[in-house]
Amino acid sequence: MSVRAETFGCAVRSVRRRAGRGLVLGTVLTLVAFVPSAGASAQADDPAADTVAWTTRYVAPGVEVRTGVLSDPRAAGVWTVTVQAPAVNRLTGAAAWAPLGDRGWADTTAGQLRAAGFTPRAERVPWDQYTDTPHGTMGWQVRVGRYATQAEAATLGSAVSAAGFRTSVEWTGYDGRTGTDAERIHVAVVDPARLRGTVEVSDGGDTADREKTSTVAARLGSLVGVNGGFFVTSDADGVQGTSAGLSAVHGELQSMAAGARAALILADGGRHNRVADLSTTVTVRSGSAVRAVEGINRVPGKVRNCGRPGAVPTELPRQDVTCSLADDLVKFTSEFGAPLPAGAGVQVVLDRHGVVVSRGDRGGSVPAGGSVLQGTGAAAGWLTEHAATGSRLKLRETVRDSSGRQVRLGPDDSVVSAAPTLVEDGRVHIDAATEGTLDPLDLSFGFAWSNVRQPRTLAGIDGRGRLLLVTVDGRQPGVSEGFTLAEAARFMRSLGAVQALNLDGGGSSAMAVDGSLVNVTSDATGERAVGDTVQVLPRAGRD
């Protein structure tokens, strides 16, 4: 084996190490990646704090997977008790709890804790590197105790709770403002110019189903596979496995966008790729009458992650929130393999040419090669008036980027969407508030999702046009803690990404190589079944 002095990008430099630690047919690369935490610029100036020993696996021509552990030997996470601050959900007005509050609340709470016999500390939390939020101080956390074990902190937490405070037991290594013990990372580098195959989105053949990333990869003979976008995980929010954002497979929309959110466009089988904020518009026409379609392959009235006109309580994207829509018109494609949603409203069944085959109650299944429209409220009335049996309906689907330019999809094109954008034009650019993962006016929403280290899956394009697919393990104190959104953006930039976005994360984060899972997932039950995946596929007759 040899040691190759190659870097991911200009912000990474290589240092020679002996190759004895490498895999068979692999190499060892030791790279310095600059991934400073918020408020930890001094740490970024010390390369020893962020040294990554990479082992590279050559999977196929144009496909490499690099595995490494980003570590800071000076980091020392502890278990602590965090006191929650009373808050109000900005959208619903309901009482809520936030992990931080303003300085006045922090001072008052700290005084109450001292009076109760505890020794609290108030910690300032700065706004992270977002492009669309305030700067300076986000709020203050009030904490008590520092322990080596979770059990010790839990005992203290019970005592603090008994004194009348709402608490949570937390590992400080998850704080984005502190150093990390370790981050276990897998980076797949796919060079479209050398790849003998394709890159595409796969939902397992059924947009209303959930499958493990490694299961799909093994069935397809995938070189590399990662989990894709957000999806419905609860029957209360819709049909499990359906996408909660824009999804297109083989050029056909399988789900509509939640507002305008980040998406990875895999064009020409992955030969031309880019990241862009995409929105969707779908209409149905009967003669001169036109009606907006507000969803594809979802339960009418339920809009996961919101982002649709008329949705309640918000028309804007809102991560992990299900909005309602009284007057709703939803299209179901032939890839929707679950029973069609039943309930009040009208259903129209169309053949492959858009001719109305039947009109009646909601339910049943989508016919092979056909499609279905379901309407509720005023949309049901529109179908009753304009979708007579034997008539023809014309559906028009349009995808546009943030500049208003139409994105035309062909049979070799795929799209997977999530949120938020991480890197744009070669610079860290995180529009967390715009894409609904954080609310600057409501600290009870999105703090853990955005500011706390989590397992994450990331995708980007580097300056050479290579596709970067990344997973970082998390929720494993002292072993692998994950990334905040800002850390994820800085890491992608350190790899040389000029465009990047955050895909689904948490227990969904998974990477499979040659059909086998290579990362350690965070769910206690093992690898999670997901809604869709991104797969790097060999051509037929792979050598």
Residue 53 pLDDT level (bands cut at 50, 70, 90):
confident
β-pairing, 529-530 with 533-538?
Answer: unpaired
Residue 25 pLDDT level (bands cut at 50, 70, 90):
very low
What is the predicted pLDDT for the residue at 540? 63
Give residue for tokens 């339910």.
363
In one-letter notation, the amino acid at residue 37 is S
pLDDT (tens digit per residue) in 255-279? 999 999 999 999 999 999 999 999 9
Residues 63 and 536 sit within 8 Å (Cβ to Cβ): yes
pLDDT at residue 44 is higher than 90: no
Q: Report CA 298 to chain centroid distance, whole Å.
A: 19
With H, G, I as helix, E, B as strand and everything else as coil, classify residue 407. coil
For residue 95, what are the β-bridge partners? 88
pLDDT (tens digit per residue) in 73-123? 888 899 999 999 999 999 999 999 999 999 999 999 999 999 999 999 999
pLDDT (tens digit per residue) in 220-257? 999 999 999 999 999 999 999 999 999 999 999 999 99
Q: 475: alpha, beta or left, given left = phi > 0 and alpha = psi -120 to 50?
A: left
> How far apart are the C-alpha atoms of 173 and 452, rounded to whole Å?
9
With H, G, I as helix, E, B as strand and everything else as coil, classify residue 247. strand
> How far apart are the C-alpha atoms of 500 and 493, rounded to whole Å?
8
162 contacts: CB under 8 Å, gap ≥ 6:
none
pLDDT at residue 295 is higher than 60: yes
What is the predicted pLDDT for the residue at 51? 62
Task: State what percent of residues in the chain have pLDDT above 70.
Answer: 90
Residues 407 and 400 sit within 8 Å (Cβ to Cβ): yes
> How far apart are the C-alpha atoms of 355 and 395, rounded to whole Å?
11
In one-letter notation, the amino acid at residue 453 is R
Q: What is the DSSP letter of 242?
A: -
Q: Residue 6: what are its φ and ψ, rounded to 5°?
A: -115, 145
Task: Return the HEC string of 273-305.
Answer: EEEEEEEEEEEEEECCEEEEECEECCCCCEEEE
Find the helix or strand (DSSP H, E) in which 83 lies. strand 79-83
Domain map (residue ranges) of the chain: 12-73+180-195+418-510, 79-174, 230-401
Q: What is the DSSP letter of 129?
A: S
What is the predicted pLDDT for the residue at 543? 33
β-pairing, 328-332 with 295-296?
Answer: parallel
What is the predicted pLDDT for the residue at 71? 85
Q: CA dihedral defined by 162, 166, 168, 173, rounded to 10 degrees?
A: -120
More confident residue, 23 or 113: 113
For residue 289, what are the β-bridge partners? 286
More confident residue, 276 or 205: 276
> How far apart are the C-alpha atoms of 148 and 232, rounded to whole Å?
37
Mean pLDDT (whole number) for 350-354? 97
What is the predicted pLDDT for the residue at 50? 56
The tokens describing 74, both together, are 């000076």
Q: Residue 296: what are its φ and ψ, rounded to 5°?
A: -130, 125
pLDDT (tens digit per residue) in 150-169? 999 999 999 999 999 999 99
More confident residue, 498 or 177: 498
Find the helix or strand (DSSP H, E) in which 26 lies. strand 26-33
pLDDT at residue 18 is higher than 50: no
> How far apart are the C-alpha atoms of 439 and 139, rounded to whole Å?
13
Question: How many CB atoms are located within 10 Å of the residue 154 CB?
Answer: 14
Q: Which residue from 320, 235, 329 is spatially nearest to 281, judged by alpha carbons?
A: 329
Q: Which residue from 25, 13, 29, 17 is spatially nearest to 69, judged by alpha carbons?
A: 29
> How far apart are the C-alpha atoms of 374 and 330, rounded to whole Å?
5
What is the predicted pLDDT for the residue at 26? 38
pLDDT (tens digit per residue) in 364-413? 999 999 999 999 999 999 999 999 999 999 999 999 999 999 999 999 99
What is the predicted pLDDT for the residue at 73? 81
Q: What is the DSSP letter of 84?
A: P
> How far apart are the C-alpha atoms of 55 and 65, rounded to whole Å?
8
Mean pLDDT (whole number) for 186-196? 97
In DSSP notation, 452-499 reads B-B-EEEEEEETTS-EEEEEE--SBTTTB--B-HHHHHHHHHHTTEEE
Give residue for tokens 């803690």.
481
